[in-house]
Every structure is written in C-alpha cells, then in structure tokens.
Structure 1
Amino acid sequence: MLPGNFIQLANVAIRGLTLVSKFLLIFFLARFLEPAELGLYGLLAATVGYSMYLLGFDFYTYSTRELLKCKRDQWGGVLKAQGALTMTLYFVFLPILGLLFVFDLLPMKVFTWFFVLLVLEHLNQEIGRLLVTVSEQLYASLVLFLRSGIWAVLVTGLMLVEPEMRNLNAVFSAWTLGGLLALGVGVLRIRRLKLSGWRARVDWCWIGKGLKVALALLVATLAVRGVFTLDRYWFQELAGLDSLGAYVLFMGISMALMSFLDAGIFAFIYPGLISAYQKQDALSFRRGISKLLLQTVCVSGGFAVIALLAIGPLLVWLDKPLYSQEQGLFIWILLSTILYALGMIPHYGLYAQGRDRPIIHSHIASLIIFILATWSFAHFWPRIAVPLGLCVSFFCVLCWKSWSFSRLTPAHYRLFHS
C-alpha cells in the first residue's frame, strides 16, 4: 500500500502533466499544421465533446449516488444497468450523429476518426468517473493522462523529428492510441476490484427513474456546452475554415484559464462550501466564497495580463501570417472566457446550497442569448460576431447567477449583508 500523501501528490502531478500537455499541444499543432487543418481539428474535437453527452445522458449524476448507497456486492448490478442504458443510447444516437456527414457539417475524410474517438472518449470518461467513485483517484488520473496527455506529447515529438507526421491523420492516430491505452488500464483496474452482482437482471424502472433525475441537468449541460460547439460551426460559416484555425488557437489559449481554475481552485474550494452549508456554518461558508472570489479574480487577471503580453511573440514564433492578421479576435475571446470564469463564483455558491434551478435556467438562457446576440452582430461585424456573442451570453449568465445568489442565499451566508 502506498502512503496517502504520496498518492495525493502523484495524483496532483499526473493531472498537472495532463493540463500542461493539453496546453502545449495547441501551440505545436498551430506551428506544424495548416490553419484549415487546425480549424478542422477544433471542429471535430468540439463535436466529439458535445456528442459524448448524448451517449451518456449525464446518467452518472444519478448512478454515482445510487452506487454509493448500495453494498459492494450489488455494484455489478448497478453498472450492468448503466451499461444497458449506454448500449441503448449508442443504438439510438450513433446513427443520428451520422447526419453530421450527410449535411456536410463535418467532411467525410474524418468519418471513421469521429466515431472511433467518440466511443473511446465516452467509455474512458465513464470509467474515469467510476474509478473516482470507488476511491481509485490515482488510476482515474492515470486514465485521464493516457487519454488526454501522453498522446499529445507523443505526436508533438514525432512532428518535431519527422516532417511527414505533420498531418491530421497522425494526430488522430495518436489520440486513438492514447484512448485505447487508457481503456485497457481502466478495464484492468476495474476487473481487479472483483465486483459482484453482475447476474442481477437489468432494472429498467430504476433506469427510467434515473433518467428523470438526470434529464434536467442534462438539458442545462447541453445548452451551455452547445454554446462551445455552435460557436465553431458559426465562425466557420462567417469567416471560413482557415480563420477557424485562428479561432481554435485563441480559444485553446483562453480556455487554459478554465483548466487551471478547475484543477487548482474550484476542485479544492467547492467541496468545503457544500460541507459548510450542510453544517450550517455561515462563517466558513463566507470565508469559502471570499476565497473563491479573491483567487478567481486574481488568477483571471494575472492570466489576462500574461496572455496579452505573450500573444504577440507567440504568433511571431508560429510563423503563420493568418494568425497575426486575426489577432484582434483574441481580446474578445479572452474577455468571454474571463466572464465565464467569474460566473463560476456565484455558480458554486448556488450549487453548494442545492439551488440548481437558477443554474439550469441561466445555462438554457445562455444558448438562446448567444444565438440572438451573434445573429445581430453578424449583420455589422461578421468576423467578430461569434466572440462578441460569447461575451454577451456569459455576461448575462454572470449577472443572472450573481442576482440569484444574492436573492436566494440567507443573509448571514452572504459576503455583504446588513
């Protein structure tokens, strides 16, 4: 048995390496691929990420709680039922997703890659969540590193030494290899847990109950993630696939902020908020919110300053004139990401109190606002309409969640109260 401190340190180190790998990958892809290829990579990656919700239906939000309620010898039955639902969703949605190619939203040359990567990403995501649930955090981080980090390092190294590898097929091949390795490690670890209960019949009534619970959160998730998928398709329509490459690059840089906040701040603070609220410890809750506010604002501000200073030299190093021509996009994309990050402060304040309704409503509204705003801006400033739409959408969400937090939070739990 490894000591707990070592496991925690190794867990943080592996997740840190994953973040760094993903962060650097986008730079090297921008360096070695043509802008149109980078644009297509971003389009496929965003579509895979969004389609995963259709294959999983966010059912884990229900099954995880149910799993922890059961005795260990019943876990196999719960997982078997979730597996049956997954197979049903595959049967329903995989053919429907083929319409992406029928309507030429994605080119046929990535048809096979799309479905292979989609299935691998979804299975690895569910296995990672299961490993976290059964307190196998180190293996969950290892699975994450294999599916999101190691292949990025591998393909970057190959591109550096072998110019013939500088193409999308090499990228997707490395991604697939990483996914297969992650799947193998995850399955082997779960088998070693020797879970029982697999002979139990699939309880479709239990599945139906779970779907009702997960559906509301799924709709909200699909809406807010829809913004981060529709934006790429809309930008391609307005500016072309080459310019989409610049958009993907700038969005990749900006969203690194969210990755750092998620891993370094949100993941450590929000469990304490939940615990403080459940214990009716108003002082600890206020301190947690204050810490969340201060750290998010400071990290976001520092990231913005560094990014704005570094973007010029970075674009010179990439040696792609198109990216320098589109540099004006970066400011708006960075602003939209900061607004999104600030919106997570009242988000976690509401979540800790179990106030899901304003979160769900604001996420649904975010997609509607984004569509209306972008459509309006497209008539006047088509090349920056999408990032402007993101800014308006996330500003409205920030205001909505902040107002809801102020209105619904008991006075003695707020930072500012009479």
Structure 2
Amino acid sequence: MRLRLLDLVARPAIVTAVAVLVLRGLTLASRFLLSLLLARMLSPDEMGKYGLVTAVLAFALLGLGLEFYSYMFREMVPATPERRVQIIADEAALGGLTFLAAAVLSVLAVFAGLFPARLAPWFLLILLTEHLSLEATRFLVIMSRPICAYVVVFLRGAIWVYAIAILMFTVPSSRSLEAVLIWWGLGGASSILFTAISLRDLPWRELQKRRPDWIWIGHGLRTARPFMLTAAGALIISYVDRFVIDAFIGRDALGIYTFYSTILIGLLSLGSSVSHQFLPKVIAGYAAGADFYRTALRSFFWSMLALVCATTALSAVAMGPMLALLGLSTYAASIGVFYAMLPGIFLRMLADVPSYALYAARSDKHLLICNLGSAAVATLLNVVLVPVFGLYGAAFAGGIASAALLFSLVGFAVHRMRENFREPGATEPVGLPTDPDMLYP
C-alpha cells in the first residue's frame, strides 16, 4: 500500500499539479502581503500614487500586448519548433513598436504634469518586464511546460514582494514607493532571465536574416480586436473608480480605497485562477452536447459559489481584527467602505460562470456587449456617485456594475443554451478569457 502511494505521488502529473498549486498559492499570498506591507510602510498619499500607477499599468499592458496572444495561442499550439520561434519573433516585433509608442506617451504625460517624473523610468521598466514575462508565461503554457510557466509567474509577481518585505522591516530608508517599483522591476527581470534559460532549446538560429511577417501580424490584430475591447471593458470596471476618486476626493482617500481594492482584486484573481481550471471542461462539455454542457456548468457554478461565499465571509470577519492587530487605524476608520465593496466582488467572481459559458459557445459578441455595457455603467455611476457619496459612491458604483455584468451574462448564456448545439468537435478556441494576471493590486 505504501509503495503504491509513493508511486502515485511520484507520477509526473501529480508532481506537476502540486508544484503549480504551490507556486500559484505563493503568488496569490504575495498580493495579500503586499497590500498589508504598503499600508504599514507607506502613507495614504503614497498608497494612492501606487493605486494610480497600477491602474495605468494595467491599461498600458493591454495597449502593449493588444490581446495579440488570443490569436497567437491558436497559431502556436500545432506549430513546429521552427514556426514557434518565428511566431515569438513576430510578436516581439509588434511589442517593440507598441512599447516605443508607450514610452513616447509616458514622456508626454510627464511634460503635461499627468504623471510624476520620478516614477516614469521605473514605470517603463515594469511595463517592459511585465509584458515580456506575461507573454513568456503564455508561451510556456502552450509548450506544455506548466512548472516553468508558474515559476515565471512566481518570479514576476511574488518573490520580490517577500524580498522587499524583509528589506523594509530591516532598512527603514527602503520604505518608499520608488523602492517598491525598483524591486518590482527586478522581479520581472529575473523572470525574463529564467525564461531565456527555459527556451534556449528552441531553434533560434532559424531567425537569422528573417524579417517580421507584418501581413501575418496585421491579420492577428484584426482577429484579436474584439478580445482587446472585451479586456478593456473588464479593466475599466476594475480601475475607473481610482481615477474618479483621485479627481474628486483626493490622493489620501484614494490610498485608503486602494488598500481595500488590493485585497479584493486578490480575491478576484483567486477566483479567476480557479475558473481557468474549469475552462477545458466547459469547452469539452459544449462540444459534447447540451447535457454535458449543463453538467459542466453546474459543477462550475457550485464550486465557484462555495469559493465566493467562503472567501467573502472570511474577509468580512477577518478584516476588522487584522486592522486592529496591525495598528492601521487610518484604514480601520473607513472599514465600512470595504464592507460596501464586498457585494460587488461577490457578483464579479460569480460572473465567471456565465462568461466562460459564453466563451465556450464562441459567443464573442455577447461577451463584448456585456463587458463594454458594464464598463459604461461603472464609468457613469462613478462620475455621478463619487462626488456625492465619496468612497461609498465608488463602492456602490462597482457593485451595480458587477450586477449588470453578471445578469447580462446570465441572460445571454441562458439564451445560448436554448439554441441548437453544434456537432461535436466544432468548437475551437479563438482567444482566452481575461487573464487574472492582468489585474494588479
């Protein structure tokens, strides 16, 4: 019995699953640690600046990548090693052009007084390393190297957090926003170095004297356009409140709101990570027929409901004692805002179920309508409610936008389930739902 157990544990699939789970868990835990660390070590004003930087970064990353990976994924899966390096090179050429545009816009923003000059170099460094390591993660997943992929995720998003936590507790002079951004950039650079080592076995010599295939790149951009708009809608729902709060209330209030939203975005990222595990089952269920599709969605729904209930309840119970234990009285005075934000994140996490149901059914137009519509609701309500109700207005706007997203997705998903199903095997992925790693705390 013992030998059988050891043999089971030693199987490659089991080892891979455990390694990925541990790496993903450490990465998600680092986001929670980072929110507490910044609240403890930085002033609310600096926390507010961090909130703006991360919000701008999320949109800049979307502009840098243009969701091109949704097209690249389909092309790269069946490709030979020689073709894969060509695809990587073409995407790198596209990324070089978009980064140049981002750099020019950043310089213009600094001269216009819209972005602090002292943070601009570190912002560009993080933007570059985040983009490269995010794409590297996708390449490694496509190449069936999940452990390497999640090592990249860990290096990019977690290890530097643990390092700077030790540094800030031991060296008081390191307790600054610049130090956070520098270490963030170093973490991204380490992930790129690891990626270069992991992909050294590919036939890179095939790229000698080869020019980028701009026709292929243009076709990919046209294919990826609806996914870019859908992702933009999701980001607007997550981050538009920060810009409105900064404009109407002030940077200190934004710092308090950013602290709470970092924790909630961590919960959203956890939910998205779990949702991604159900995606293959939902796609396979849709291809197999109505009964299998409903069974996959039913299992997905109850699993997500249990996760959402547990995480939101635990957060609600633990937040007050945690703030008291850490002595964060400034943030504790506004804890009501956190409770007002919880229903929104509850609904947003549940929205993954109908979203993935529509994705599996290739209802891209419906996904686009729901995300852009909810983004418009979030923007309008933030502009209307924040000047009147302050931070509570932002929380209410987020909750209503999340409700609009969930119920519109459910409506389209129910309608889609009543239609005739395609023949088995007719479904193939043409893109991916919003990547949880595109959301930054």
Q: Is the 8 A contact 2:244 2:383 kept in 1?
A: no
Residue 5 (structure 1) shift: 2.3
Q: Which has the higher contact order (CA 8 A, sep 6+)?
A: 2
Q: Is the 8 A contact 2:257 2:391 kept in 1?
A: no
Which sits farther off after the overlay, 71-80 or 124-133?
71-80
Q: Is the 8 A contact 1:340 1:394 kept in 2?
A: yes
Within 5 A, what are the aligned runs for 1:163-174?
Answer: 163-174=172-183
Report sequence identity in percent. 27
Q: 1:275 to 1:146 in 2, by over 3 A?
A: same
Corresponding position of 2:190: 181
Corresponding position of 1:222: 232
Structure 2 residue 124 is matched with structure 1 residue 115: yes
Letter in 2 for 1:367: A
Q: Is the 8 A contact 1:227 1:367 kept in 2?
A: yes
Residue 214 (structure 1) shift: 0.4
Separation of aligned partners in 2, 1:159 and 1:212:
46
Corresponding position of 1:8: 17
Q: Is the 8 A contact 2:297 2:353 kept in 1?
A: yes
Separation of aligned partners in 2, 1:8 and 1:297:
23
Within 5 A, what are the aligned runs for 1:70-219?
Answer: 70-195=79-204, 197-199=206-208, 200-219=210-229
Separation of aligned partners in 1, 2:141 and 2:57:
23
Separation of aligned partners in 2, 1:164 and 1:317:
24
The superposition leaves residues 198-253 of structure 1 with CA deviations (integer Å, 9 ceiling, x where unpaired) of 24432211111111000111012112212323221111222211121111111111
Corresponding position of 1:330: 338
Separation of aligned partners in 2, 1:381 and 1:181:
44
SS for the counterpart of 2:212 is: coil
Separation of aligned partners in 2, 1:297 and 1:98:
45
Separation of aligned partners in 1, 2:150 and 2:386:
42
Q: Structure 1 residue aligned with 2:75, among 47, 57, 66?
A: 66
Q: Structure 2 residue aligned with 1:308, among 316, 339, 347?
A: 316
Residue 196 (structure 1) shift: 5.6
Q: 1:2 to 1:201 in 2, by over 3 A?
A: farther
Separation of aligned partners in 2, 1:261 and 1:223:
18
Structure 2 residue 261 is matched with structure 1 residue 259: no
Letter in 2 for 1:21: S
In structure 1, runs of 5+ residues without a counterpart are 414-418
Separation of aligned partners in 1, 2:15 and 2:204:
26
Corresponding position of 1:30: 39
Q: Structure 2 residue aligned with 1:20, among 12, 29, 44?
A: 29
In structure 2, runs of 5+ residues without a counterpart are 1-9, 422-441
Q: Is the 8 A contact 1:73 1:196 kept in 2?
A: no
Separation of aligned partners in 1, 2:22 and 2:232:
31
The superposition leaves residues 330-374 of structure 1 with CA deviations (integer Å, 9 ceiling, x where unpaired) of 012222111111211111111111111111111111221112212
Separation of aligned partners in 2, 1:205 and 1:58:
17
Letter in 2 for 1:220: T
Residue 155 (structure 1) shift: 0.5
Letter in 2 for 1:297: L
Letter in 1 for 2:201: R
Q: Is the 8 A contact 1:64 1:133 kept in 2?
A: yes
Q: 1:106 to 1:93 in 2, by over 3 A?
A: closer
- TM-score scaled to structure 2, two decimals? 0.88
Separation of aligned partners in 1, 2:159 and 2:31:
9
Corresponding position of 1:241: 251
Q: Is the 8 A contact 2:90 2:212 kept in 1?
A: yes
Structure 1 residue runs of 4 or more that deviate by more than 4 Å after TM superposition: none
Separation of aligned partners in 2, 1:43 and 1:401:
29
Separation of aligned partners in 2, 1:170 and 1:95:
24
Structure 2 residue 66 is matched with structure 1 residue 57: yes
SS for the counterpart of 1:380 is: helix
Q: Structure 2 residue aligned with 1:232, among 234, 238, 242?
A: 242
Residue 47 (structure 1) shift: 1.3
Q: 1:105 to 1:232 in 2, by over 3 A?
A: farther
Separation of aligned partners in 2, 1:103 and 1:305:
44
Residue 2 (structure 1) shift: 8.4
Residue 311 (structure 1) shift: 1.3
Letter in 1 for 2:353: I
Q: 1:318 to 1:39 in 2, by over 3 A?
A: farther
- TM-score scaled to structure 1, two decimals? 0.93
SS for the counterpart of 2:115 is: coil
Q: Structure 1 residue aligned with 2:364, among 356, 359, 364?
A: 356
Separation of aligned partners in 2, 1:21 and 1:155:
11
Letter in 2 for 1:49: A
Residue 164 (structure 1) shift: 2.3
- Tell me how many residue pairs correspond in the alignment: 411
Within 5 A, what are the aligned runs for 1:285-324?
Answer: 285-324=293-332
Separation of aligned partners in 1, 2:49 and 2:387:
25
